[in-house]
Chains A and B, each alone.
Chain A
Amino acid sequence: MEFSLSAIANQVDTWLHANCASWLALTIEFVIVGLLCIALFAVLGLVLIMMERKVSAYMQLRLGPNRVGPKGMFQTLADTLKLLVKEGLTPNGADKFLFNLAPFIVMIAAMLVLAPIGFAKDFVIWDINIGVLYISAISSIGVIGILMAGWASNNKYSLLGAMRSGAQIVSYELSAGLSILTIVIFTQDMSMGQIVASQADGWWIWKGHIPVIISFIIFLIAVTAETNRAPFDLAEAESELTAGFHTEYSGMKFALFFLAEYVNIFIVCAVGATLFLGGWMPLHIGNWADFNRIMDYIPSSVWFFGKTFFLIFVIMWFRWTFPRLRIDQLLNLEWKYLLPISMFNLLLATFIAIQGWYL
C-alpha cells in the first residue's frame, strides 16, 4: 500500500460518516480542513524562513543560524516566541481601525488562494471550475491590505512603500495573467485539476514549445515582483524606506504580515508548478516503461512539494544574483518589455495551439 493523502482523507471521511450523524461529520470535516490550513500556514512560515536564511547564508559562504537546536532548526521558533512577547504598538496618528484590519485582509487573501490548489492526487479543498481566474482575482485582494496598512500608519515611509508596492503588484499582475492565459489556451480549461490532468503525457514546459517557455520565464519574473521579493523589493527597500509598508507594525501584527509574505511565495510557486511543471504529476519520459513505473512509486504529494520548493529556491536564488531595481526601471521593465512580449507571446501560443503543433 503506497502512501497517498487522498486515501487517508477518504478513510477519515468514511469513518466519520459511519460513526456520526451526517451534519456532525460535515462540521468535523470543515473543522479539520480549517485546522490543517492553519497548520500548513504555521509550518510553511517556520520552514520557509529557515530555508531563506540557510540559502542566503550558503550563497554568501556563511553558515547561517546554527546555535538554536540541531543545525539551528529551532531558530524561527525562537524568533516567533520573541515576537509573541513584543508589544503590538499602534502609533498615535494612525487610523486605528484600518491599521488593525490590514493584517487580517492580507491573511484572508493568502488563505483563500489555497482552495483550488491540488496538493496531491485527488487532494484539493475545492477544485473550482474557474480555478486560475479565481487565483488571479483573490491574489490581487492582498494589495488592498498592503495599501491599507501603508496609508493607515500615517508614516511617510509606510505610505511610500505601500504606493510603490501597489504600483508594482498591479503592473506585474498583467504579465502574470497573460502568461497564465497561454496555458489556458493549450488546456482549454480553467480548472486547476483539469490543467494537471492535461499534463499526464508530459508537462507543459516540455510539450508547449517556445511560447510556454517564454511565458514560464515571464511568470517567474512577474511573481517575484508580485510577492515583493528582491530584486523587486522596492516596497521595503531597507536602505531607503526602513521597512516599507510595515514600518509601524510590531509584535504579532508584524509577524502576520511576514507570514503572509512567505505563504504568498509558496502559493505563487505552487501555481507555477501546477501550470508549467505538471503539479503532482510524476516525471515520465516517453516509453521508458521501467523508469516511469519507478517515478510513479514516489507519492504525488512529494512531487508537488518538490516542484514547489524547487521554484521557491529559484526565487531565493534571484535575491542574491540581481541588484535591486529603481522604481522607474521596474515600471519600464514591465510596461515596455514584459507586457508587449507577453501579448505577442499570447498570439504565438494561440497560433501554435490552433495549428496543433504541440504534442
Chain B
Amino acid sequence: MGPASLLVLILAAVAFATAAILLSKLVLKASHNPVKGETYECGVPTIGKSWIQFNVGYYLFALIFLIFDVELIFLYPWAVTVQKLGMFAFYEALIFLFILFMGFLYAHKKGALKWM
C-alpha cells in the first residue's frame, strides 16, 4: 500500500490508545485522596529522589552495544550481495569481523563486560 500505510498505522495506534484512555475516563468514578499520589514503595514513604546518578555498568553495555549495532548496519548491505561477490567478500568480512572481535576482546580484558 505504500509509505502512507505507516502513517495509517501510527494514527491507528494513537487512536486506539487515546480511545481506551478516554473511555476509561468516561466510565470510572475518580475519588480524591492526597495519599493516592504518593510514590509506591511497598507501604513505606519513599526516601529521596529516584533521579540520581546511576550505576555506570548499564551505560558501558550501551556503549559497546552501539559499536556492534553500527557493525550490524554495515553487514546488512554486505549480506545481500555476498553470494554474488563470492569468496572475496567473505575474506573482507573476515577481516572486518576480526578487527571488531579484537576490540571486543580488549573491552573484555578491560573488564567492561564484568558486572560490578
Is A178 on the interface with B (CB-CB < 8 A)? Answer: yes
Q: Is A320 an interface residue (CB 8 A)?
A: no
| A30→B4 contact, CB < 8 A | yes
Q: How far is the CA of A155 from the CA of B48 in the complex (A)?
A: 10
Q: Is B21 an interface residue (CB 8 A)?
A: yes
Pick from B1, B42, B97: contact of A242, CB under 8 Å: B42
Q: Are B46 and A156 in contact (CB-based, < 8 A)?
A: yes
Q: Please report the number of residue pairs spanning A and B whose Cβ atoms sit closer than 8 angstroms.
A: 204
User: A351 interface residue, CB < 8 Å from B?
Assistant: yes
- Contact check, A154 vs B39: say whether CB atoms are below 8 A apart: yes
Query: Do B10 and A89 touch across chains, with their CB atoms under 8 A apart?
Result: no
The reply to whether A327 and B115 form a contact with Cβ atoms under 8 Å apart is yes
Q: Which residue on A lies nearest to B54, using beta carbons?
A: A163
Q: Mark B17-45, 1 if CB is under 8 A from A, else 0.
A: 10011011101111100001111111000
Assembled-state Cα–Cα distance A155/B108 (Å)? 33
| B99 adjacent to chain A (CB < 8 Å) | no
Would you call B24 and A252 a contact (CB within 8 A)? yes
A171: B residues at CB distance < 8 A: 61, 65
A33–B86 alpha-carbon span in the complex (Å) = 42
Binding-face segment, A68-76, A100-108, A291-299: A100-108
- The main secondary structure of chain A at its interface with chain B is helix
* A275, CB-defined interface residue at 8 Å: no
In the complex the two chains form, is A181's CB within 8 Å of B79's CB? yes
Secondary structure class of chain B's binding surface, majority of residues:
helix
How far, in angstroms, from A126 to B1 measured CA to CA in the complex?
5
Q: List 18 A-B contacts (CB under 8 A).
A: A33-B5, A38-B15, A84-B27, A86-B24, A87-B31, A89-B36, A104-B13, A107-B17, A125-B1, A156-B46, A166-B58, A177-B69, A178-B72, A256-B17, A256-B20, A327-B115, A343-B101, A347-B93
Given contacts A332-B113, A350-B89, 10 further A-B contacts (CB under 8 A): A34-B15, A90-B37, A125-B1, A153-B39, A154-B51, A163-B54, A171-B61, A174-B65, A177-B72, A331-B113
Give which listed residue, B16, B38, B42, B82, contacts A38 with CB less than 8 A. B16
A139 at the interface (CB under 8 A from B): no
Q: Which residues of A contact B115 (CB under 8 A)?
A: 327-328, 331-332
B81 neighbours in A (Cβ, 8 Å): 188
Q: How far is the CB of B34 from chain A (nearest CB, A)?
A: 9
Query: Do residues A353 and B82 form an inter-chain contact, with CB atoms below 8 A?
Result: yes
| A286, CB-defined interface residue at 8 Å | no
CA distance A7 to B29 in the complex (A): 47
Q: Is A197 close to B, CB under 8 A?
A: no
- CB pair B50 A255 closer than 8 Å: no
List B contacts of A108 (CB < 8 A). Answer: 9-10, 13-14
Check: A115 CB closer than 8 A to any chain B CB: yes
CA–CA, A177 and B69, complex, Å: 9
Chain A residues with Cβ under 8 A from B23's Cβ? 84, 252
Q: Which residues of A contact B79 (CB under 8 A)?
A: 181, 184-185
Which 8 A/B pairs are nearest by Cβ-Cβ distance? A328-B115, A111-B13, A34-B12, A92-B37, A252-B24, A184-B79, A108-B13, A170-B65
**Chain B residue at minimal CB-CB distance from A111:** B13
Q: Tell me if A85 is interfacial: C-beta within 8 Å of chain B.
A: yes
Does A281 belong to the interface (CB within 8 Å)?
no
Let me know if A354 is at the binding interface, CB within 8 A: yes
A190 contacts the other chain (CB 8 A): yes
